[in-house]
Structure 1
Amino acid sequence: MKRREQSQTEQLRQALAEREAQLQEARSRLAAVEGSTSLQVGRALTAAAKRPGRSLVKLPRDLYRLWRRSGTTRHTERRRPGAEPVRSFDAERQEARLLTGVVGGREDLLVVATVVGPAIQQAIDPYVRTVPLRPHDAQIVMDGVDVDLVLVSSSAAAPGSPWAHVGDPAVVDRTRALHWVLESAAARGIPAVLLDDAPAPPALRELGFDRVHDGDAGVPLHQFNPVAADLVRGPEAVYVRSGAGDRVPDLLTDLGAGVTDVDAPDLADALRAANVAVIPGSGPDHERVRRRAWACGAHVVAHADPARTGGEDLAVSVPRLRAAVPSSAEQRTMLRQVFFDAATPVRLAEILDGLDLATDTPGAELPLRGRSVAVLADPAGEAEADQLADDLLGATLRPTEVVVPGAAARLPGVQRLRAEGVTVRSARFSAPDTPEELTRDGDRPRIGALGTDGWAALAERATAPWAYPWTGRVGADRLADLVCAAECSGADAVGAPASDGTGDTGGDARGQGFFDRARTGGTQYVFVSAVTPELARTPLLRRGWNPAEWNRRGSRLLALGPDHGTAPGGGADGSAHSAADASTGAVG
């Protein structure tokens, strides 16, 4: 049993014991009150007052008997000496814990107590299990949950939020509640991190954090991505303001550029609809907006203060980039760079790196667990095994593990993978030995040269959340693009669009995909009803279903177009990526 689950069980057991002790205490006190001399005297006087005739005659005798028995009162009905003392305040807190609905977390996610702004909360939700704290219940929740990390952001102090102005000496109650949370975390050995992503009272930094990170939580690709961008209508250029009071350059107004703010709820749609985004040339918003524009597939033009720009630079760059539709290679390269360098799981791993987490917590690599891929392969001989090793060792995103049949585990190429540090697992295939099994195996749908039952047998040995059925040579960036597409879309399977026999590949009715705004053909990042699976969730492959039925069984399928090479200059800023390990996200 995990530490946090055991802690929850112990807390509930203690709460039950306290309830029983409280009930026993109440019964003892009620019996003591009912048997007390004071109550008996009161009853006798009340009866005499109600019936003065006969009761007044009996009253002296009743009072004398009560006096005689007052010295022999039994105390056996009182609380047992060995019982736990009832603490009403603690009992109320235990009941409040049960009402919060907080339960043990999943093993593959960190449990994080959060005091963050809404943008940070939405960004980290898919990658950690958050336990939001509010000023009125922070102590109750912290006492009732075993968390791995306390995460606070400066944006939580923004006006209008539950923690507005926290850290300001004028807001003593909220500052005291957060200070108590940090002291409780320090006493339990839980690290506390501050994301300094927005202006906040200076005293917030001085509350006692183990680490202060300058910046936000990275680019949440599940919000900023190119999926369904061809459905978003808008101007080809958009001006991103740092604030609502910023003046829009006259040139952009004349060009018909759209206007949005860096904190606008529709920022992702505005960037997806544009070919070029004009962003602040400096300041804290420059890098943040630039990465988000890349993720949405827009060229970026940085501008200085509009009052000093004069419009000359924008007059040249904006019309040129607005007319130049980003190519497929450029779009893929920009998105891939954000995926490796600035996505939210990568940023969380950087923040957690070096923190003193609990001994049973996997640590900084846990937010990147969702990118782990198991490559399933059935090489027919030494040549295919060598090709498999060349493909995987040269990939920009290296798989976490490789699963092969037991007979192929001794091939030189597979041994080379093991020598390079890739985990290799083997699976046993049961050979058909009856005519019925031979016939049934021949009718099974196939992915490449292997039937669905074979892929299911390999997937049973995989431990990564994603599985990649290797069917032949693949480009160096293909695996990274597939995992990136899955992270952007939340799809259950990603692959090439499968034809239904009518020539329809699942694109939209206009025959135009996202990367093909100029109607050059092809389909990119489009949800379809059938794909030839290249990357799928491991539990889905374990079922052995026909891929043509996945959509009808409730799976979300994303079509990803073929590779188009690398954009000139490598990365979006002229850089090029080398191999990255999916277990750590490190680029080296």
Structure 2
Amino acid sequence: MKRREQSQTEQLRQALAEREAQLQEAQARLASLEGSTSLQVGRALTAAAKRPGRSLVKLPRDLYRLWRRSGSTNHTARRRVEPVRSFDAERQEARLLTGLGGGREDLLVVATVLGPAVEKAVDPYLRSVPLRPHDAQIVMDAVDVDLLLVSSSAAAPGSPWAHAGDPAAVDRTRALHWVLESAAARGVPTVLLDDAPAPPALRQLGFDRVHKGDAGVPLHLFNPVAAELVSGPEAVFVRTAPDQPVPDVLQDLGVGVVDADSPGLPDALRAANVAVIPESGHGDLRLRRRAWACGTRVITHPAVPLPDTEDLAVSVPRLRAEQPTPREVRAMLRQVFLDEAAPVRLAALLHGLDFAAGTPGTELPLSGRGVAILADPASEADAELLAEDLLGSRLRPAELVVPDTAARMPGVQRLRAEGLTVRTVRSTAPDTPEELTRDQTRSQVGGFPPQHWAALAECATSPWSHLWTGPVGRHRLADLACAAECSDADAVGTPNTPEGAGSAAVGGTALAGAGERGFFDRDTGGRQYVFVTSVTPELARTELLRRGWPPAEWNRRGTRLLALGPDHGTGTDGDNEGPAHADASTGAVG
């Protein structure tokens, strides 16, 4: 029997097993219904009504017997029913046998035929099952997947799927075509990322969706966190092809050269103040976004010089002489985080696909960004500030957790009316002096002990929690979540003041007791991203807050703390977006 016929037989076997499970469950319910006392009483009454003469005389005796038997269970007369086994249980067992953790619902299980760069980009956001030409059929038969994802870069020379779609590579094309047919027969959506030149026949194999572009910017690889830990030239030229010539003016200026597909591209971009990118269609935009994620200004170099444009001999020395300002770095990185990051691109790709019933939500790639707001407004005015702050935030929070006494405030009710999930926690007894007066002492984070934040975090379902103590501006929450995604830190907050001052401010409110700067801490100064041993936490993992540890002890317990500097003042960002990149036409920053 051919492998294709084996796959169809396996699908029919699974469908038959599901039907048998449904039939078995229906038989068990029917047997339970037939043996019920209610049905037998109904039958006795119906027989007496049909034959009033003799049946009415026997009716009291029959009802008495039914009453006597209803209190005892006759195990020998009961029909033996095998335990019901559904197809969903077999699906979960199949995933467990293949090492995919069948009980998890936080990631989509995806069969992948990807190039190395795309595979690294999507790795934290999908449960990847790689397919290779020699085992693609076996893996597709053995594993139940939610999606098939293929990239054109996987057909590049030197890869296992090299030249797939080319008539000269019949074996690989046939194997990929069989995988697509198997996915279509099982109702699994198929997506092609057209991120690189590939044989035209690859796009004509019958994908449900073809996306022109890559999988977005992987911020866990391209980020500005280690910007000062690398060294290199202040300007770099990014070659899109190994044989691409470097402009003579850049050679005279001593500009560094790096290939677009080089593993050292992130380090080269982080070390440079300006990157010169050749104009080459959508590839130009892809490299531009990666440079923005590294906090690097961009100059696009057209193949044909345009009139009224600034020459590279002028723009490159001018931009390489000074580092991008903190506001520029934050604005560029924020734009990539909100619009072009890998989880955003994956969520857009999955939107609208016809997934099989029972598949986890297509928004799962973005689930790691979920932020719960933990707040305890002291008055209705504070609740109104909370509502204005959250409704104006660039990053919409997933939920709000407040004490039940604050749930009745108009500001919280307004957030509930806007569609934000509001959860409440019972923290104090109602109508007590503690509740009515509210202690205003600000001796700890937000004036509350860690146990108070832990109680609020217990009701949060999001992976991240923001300790709201006052308005922070429309960009701050997005910047905090972006910094956490870039650095894989456990908590992000404002840097503590040096030399024992032990206080910081969040939202204009001084917070004491946050701890002193450690011996190994570096002076943050104007730096935006730096790992430290103590911060005043603003965003932290929900599991970390649930432990109720004082923030001063977090670093000693093995957590990674990232200090995020402000744009204007400590802990509050202005509403001005600021300059984001270098314009190719003028070379000016703006």
**TM bracket, shorter-chain basis:** 0.7 to 0.9
| Unpaired segments ≥5 residues, structure 2 | 1-9, 18-93, 431-438, 502-515, 584-590
Q: Which residue of structure 1 lines up, in the alignment, with residue 566 of structure 2?
A: 562
**How far 1:423 moved relative to its partner?**
0.7
Displacement after TM superposition at 1:571 (Å): 6.2
Would you say the 8 A contact 2:291–2:298 is kept in 1? yes
Match of 2:188 in 1: 190
Pairing 1:396-545 to 2, within 5 Å after superposition: 396-429=394-427, 446-499=444-497, 501-502=499-500, 505=517, 511=523, 521-545=525-549
Residue 556 of structure 2: aligned partner: 552
> Which residue type is aligned with residue 472 of structure 2?
V
Letter of the aligned partner of 1:543 in structure 2? R
CA 1:98/1:402 → structure 2, altered by over 3 Å: closer, same or farther? closer
Q: CA deviation at 1:462?
A: 0.5
For the residue of structure 2 that corresponds to 1:146, the secondary structure is coil
Alpha-carbon distance in structure 2 between the residues aligned to 1:365 and 1:331:
28
- Contact kept in structure 2, 1:277 and 1:298, CA below 8 Å: yes
Q: Is this contact kept in 2: 1:249–1:306, CA < 8 A?
A: no
Q: Is the 8 A contact 1:452 1:544 kept in 2?
A: yes
Q: 1:570, CA displacement in angstroms?
A: 4.8
Contact 2:521/2:533 (8 A) holds in 1: no
Structure 2 CA distance for partners of 1:554 and 1:431, relative to 1, 3 Å: farther
Which residue of structure 2 aligns with residue 388 of structure 1?
A: 386
Q: Residues 99 and 169 of structure 1: is their aligned pair in 2 closer, same or farther, counting only changes over 3 Å?
A: farther
* Secondary structure of 2:191's aligned partner: strand
Amino acid aligned to 2:251: T
Select which of 321, 342, 351 maps to 2:349.
Answer: 351
1:324 aligns with 2:303: no
In 2, are the aligned partners of 1:237 and 1:276 still within 8 Å (CA)?
Answer: yes
* Deviations 1:320-370 (CA, angstroms, capped at 9, x unpaired): 111132111111111111111111011111111111112333433211111
SS at structure 1 position matched to 2:562? strand
CA shift, 1:377, in A, is 0.4
Deviation string, structure 1 residues 150-176 (Cα, Å, up to 9, x no partner):
000000001111111111122222112
Mark the CA change 1:223 to 1:567 in structure 2 (over 3 Å): closer, same or farther. farther
- For 1:145 and 1:408, how far apart are their aligned partners in 2? 49
Q: For residue 46 of structure 1, what is the aligned residue in structure 2?
A: none
Quote the RMSD (CA, aligned, Å): 3.1
Q: 1:574 to 1:297 in 2, by over 3 A?
A: closer
Larger-Rg structure: 1
2:291 aligns to what?
Answer: 293
Aligned residue for 2:188, secondary structure, equals coil
- Of stretches 304-313 and 125-134 in structure 1, the one that deviates more from structure 2 is 304-313
Aligned to 1:209: 207
> What is the CA-CA distance between 1:532 and the residue it aligns to?
0.9
Distance 1:427 1:244, change over 3 A: same
Report the counterpart of residue 143 of structure 2 in structure 1.
145
Q: In structure 2, how many angstroms separate the alpha carbons of the residues matched to 1:510 and 1:377? A: 31
- Separation in 1, partners of 2:240, 2:424: 54
Q: Contact 2:298–2:581 (CA<8 Å) still a contact in 1?
A: no
For residues 414 and 372 of structure 1, what CA distance do their matches in structure 2 show? 19
Q: Give the count of matched residue pairs.
A: 469
2:119 counterpart SS class: helix
Residue aligned with 2:386, SS? helix
Q: Distance in 2 between matches of 1:462 and 1:327?
A: 36
Equivalent residue for 1:53?
none
Counterpart of 1:338?
Answer: 336
For 2:532 and 2:283, locate their aligned partners in 1 and report how far apart those are by CA, in whole Å. 36
User: Which residue of 258, 273, 276 corresponds with 2:274?
Assistant: 276
Separation (CA, whole Å) in 1 of partners of 2:519 and 2:361:
41
The whole-number CA distance in structure 1 between the counterparts of 2:454 and 2:198 is: 53
- TM-score when normalising by structure 1: 0.75
Contact 2:440 2:447 (8 Å CA) reproduced: no
Local SS of the residue matching 2:324: coil
Is 2:254 aligned against 1:256? yes
Structure 1 Cα separation of the partners of residues 249 and 563 of structure 2: 39
Once residues 166 and 296 of structure 1 are traced to their aligned partners in structure 2, the CA distance between those partners, rounded to angstroms, is 34
Displacement of 1:305: 2.4
Q: Distance in 2 between matches of 1:154 and 1:260?
A: 23
Q: Give the 3 Å change call, closer, same or farther, for CA 507–338 of structure 1 in structure 2.
A: farther
Q: Deviations over 1:529-574 (max 9, x none)?
A: 1111100011111111111111121211111011335697656269
Distance 1:380 1:429 in 2: 14
User: Does the 8 Å CA contact 1:392/1:399 hold for their aligned counterparts?
Assistant: yes
The one-letter code sitting in structure 2 at the alignment partner of 1:557 is L
| SS of the residue 2:291 aligns to | helix
Q: Equivalent residue of 1:167, what SS?
A: coil
The answer (yes or no) to whether the contact 1:271–1:277 under 8 Å persists in 2 is yes
Aligned to 1:397, the other structure's residue is in SS state coil
TM-score, normalising length from structure 2?
0.74
Map 1:20-59; keep pairs closer than 5 Å: none
Deviation at 1:284, TM superposition (A): 3.1
CA–CA separation in structure 1 for the residues paired with 2:574 and 2:426: 39
Distance in 2 separating the partners of 1:116 and 1:291: 21
Deviation at 1:236, TM superposition (A): 0.4
> 1:400–1:464: 8 Å Cα contact kept in structure 2?
yes
Change (3 A) 1:373 1:97: closer
Residues 571 and 338 of structure 1: CA distance in aligned 2, closer, same or farther (over 3 Å) = farther
